[in-house]
Amino acid sequence: MCYNLTFTRTHLQWSWDESVACFEQGDPTAALEIFIDIQEKNSKIFFNIGCIHLINKDLDAAEKAFDGSIGKDQHLAVAFFQRGLTFYKKERFEEAFADFQNAFRELRGNQLIDYKPLGLRYKLYACEVLHNMALVQAQLGLWEKAKEHLLTALNLRTEPKLSLIDKALECILKQKLFKPVEVPGKVLFKPNKNYVAELEKKDYLGKAKVVASIVDKDEFSGFAPLQPQVEDVPSTPKAPEVMRALEGEPHTVLFEFVPETSDELAVVPGNIVFVLQRGTDNWASVVFNERRGLVPYNYLERLEITLSSKKEKDEKKIDNIPEAPQREPPNRPKRKSAFVPEKQKTRDTANESEDSSQCIVKVHYVYTFAVSMEPGSPYITILKIISDKLALPATSITLSYSPKDSGRIMIDQNTKIEDVWSCVRHGRLTLWCEMKPDTSEQMQNHAHLVALHSYVSSNPEDLEFDQGDTILLLSKVNEDWFEGECKQKIGIFPASFVEEVQMKNI
């Protein structure tokens, strides 16, 4: 019995090592054949088989292999993660989300699991699991849930290189999809190198006198005795790793802030900023995306970035994330030590006298913007305000709204405008704007610009372009700054860097 057990283990190690070698030499077919021929497959070998099938785009076989891996080890988070990717590629999104949830649960409160000690050169990050969960929810049309998961992922991000979370959040805010995080294609579990190095190719069916022995200096041929098991194995999982120390105190941005001077910083709800100093005038000096600037402190909320490995918090569902704040943003604080331009003074004075009954209408277009309207305004007024904002003819766009628990409903002359305004919540109304499919001739008359000079900026809200590039004008922020689209990117840029041209000349 001991003979058979030792022989099986030795054969497994040799076959495993040989298969990985074939894979690394660029022969996945031979590697797969050797793996499949192994009789007693463990969870790691099933995982390797699934990864090779995934590379070959044989999704049914990959799913079956990952089923075997999870069946052998129900705590292997990376196997849940890979099966979730398989389900995602098969467009079985509900099952994909469930597997990503299982992967997150098996992280057991840790921000990452490094599988290198187990033979897999890969680190599974909690923030990347949440990234894929958000993508699945976006595929299901649950944009708010997707946003919440990405905000949680920002809190769990431990390395600056994981910038894909920021990019995914930008896509979610524009209701666009993004690519999933995947395990690198050339990563497989490897057998213990030290054990394989000690193996010799011998005729194990030859004349072995002793199969196994624990007696010192015993005579035997072909097999080492079974090794004693490690004692005092810890019964509780390793405590979560401590997050990297960051400069400043972390805060969550509650409201969108648009800068009006060069020393202010643009932020949107959900951004994580680090407050370096808070002034007596209620302005805070913060760091965001390696840039420093001023943001009103009353636009921020202190964030406690801590993790707990307590059982009750491990079992807490990820869906129990608090909803984003729904109240109106506070008033912009006055600057005590900075020069306030005349335009800003005029705008501040106008805001103080503005009618408090005004409603903020958020419009989802190619990008999202907000306009102020009087509640109850007729359809013609709504259409004119939005078309003027977009610098498009009113006849070229269509508007729609979404009542609670219903799909989008088109707004036109026959719509009961009271039904639209009944959707106002906390002084805000959300509308969707789309171009009519038969507006190509009208779009030819839409303003296009050509870049006179190249524009490079480190501000995330700015639009970069090269000299000679064509830019589609979306709106005029003021006399000095325009908003436009170039190379499938949208942002603001100096008006003096461009000039208007006709479409036929481009």
380, amino acid identity = I
In terms of domains, do 395 and 472 share one? no
In terms of domains, do 8 and 72 share one? yes
pLDDT tens string 137-192: 999 999 988 988 888 888 777 665 567 888 888 888 888 899 999 988 888 988 86
Q: What is the pLDDT of residue 367?
A: 67
In terms of domains, do 8 and 89 share one? yes
Domain boundary (80, 103, 122) is at 122
The most confident of 1-15, 201-215, 443-457, by mean pLDDT: 443-457
Residue 456 placed within a domain: yes
Q: What is the pLDDT of residue 129?
A: 92
pLDDT tens string 466-489: 998 998 887 777 778 888 888 878
Q: What is the pLDDT of residue 236?
A: 43
Strands (E), 279-390: 283-288, 291-296, 300-302, 359-364, 368-373
pLDDT tens string 30-72: 888 888 888 888 888 899 999 999 999 999 999 999 999 999 8
Domain boundary (87, 122, 157) is at 122
In terms of domains, do 464 and 434 share one? no
pLDDT average, residue stretch 284-308:
78
Residue 127 placed within a domain: no
Q: Name the least confident of 81-90, 150-159, 174-183, 409-418.
A: 150-159
In terms of domains, do 38 and 114 share one? yes
pLDDT average, residue stretch 10-39:
82
Residue 461 placed within a domain: yes
In terms of domains, do 302 and 363 share one? no
Whole-angstrom CA distances from 481 to 349, 463, 474, 478 are 22, 11, 11, 5
pLDDT average, residue stretch 74-101:
92
Q: What is the pLDDT of residue 153?
A: 84
Q: What is the pLDDT of residue 329?
A: 65
Q: What is the pLDDT of residue 192?
A: 67
Q: Is the pLDDT of residue 17 over 80?
A: yes
In terms of domains, do 286 and 392 share one? no
447 within 8 A of 427, measured Cβ to Cβ: no
Q: Is the pLDDT of residue 87 over 90?
A: yes
Q: Give the model's confidence band at 357: pLDDT under 50 very low, under 70 low, under 90 confident, else very high.
A: low
Domain boundary (83, 104, 122) is at 122
In terms of domains, do 405 and 456 share one? no
Query: What is the rounded end-to-end Cα distance, in angstroms, of the chain?
Result: 82
- The CATH number that applies at residue 62 is 1.25.40.10
Q: Is the pLDDT of residue 275 over 50?
A: yes
Q: 3-class SS at 231?
A: coil
* Total residue count of the chain as it appears in this document: 506
Residue 224 placed within a domain: no
Torsions phi, psi of 418, nearest 5? -65, -35
Q: Name the least confident of 126-135, 206-215, 372-381, 390-399.
A: 206-215
pLDDT average, residue stretch 488-498:
85
Say which DSSP state 472 is in. Answer: E
Residue 229 placed within a domain: no
| 3-state helix/strand/coil string of 417-458 | HHHHHCCCECCEEEEEEEECCCCHHHHHCCCEEEECCCECCC
pLDDT average, residue stretch 402-422:
85
Q: What is the pLDDT of residue 161?
A: 53
Q: What is the pLDDT of residue 46?
A: 92
In terms of domains, do 373 and 469 share one? no
Q: Give the model's confidence band at 309: pLDDT under 50 very low, under 70 low, under 90 confident, else very high.
A: very low
- The CATH number that applies at residue 371 is 3.10.20.90
Residue 34 placed within a domain: yes
In terms of domains, do 301 and 402 share one? no
In terms of domains, do 386 and 482 share one? no
280 lies in which domain range? Answer: 245-306
Q: What is the pLDDT of residue 317?
A: 43
Q: What is the pLDDT of residue 303?
A: 78
Domain count along the chain: 4
Q: Name the least confident of 96-105, 202-211, 351-360.
A: 202-211
**368 vs 86, which has greater pLDDT?**
86
- The CATH number that applies at residue 467 is 2.30.30.40
Q: Name the least confident of 35-39, 129-133, 326-330.
A: 326-330
Q: Name the least confident of 135-149, 215-229, 322-336.
A: 215-229
Residue 57 placed within a domain: yes
Q: What is the pLDDT of residue 49?
A: 92
CA 481 to chain centroid: 31
Residue 436 placed within a domain: yes
In terms of domains, do 23 and 70 share one? yes
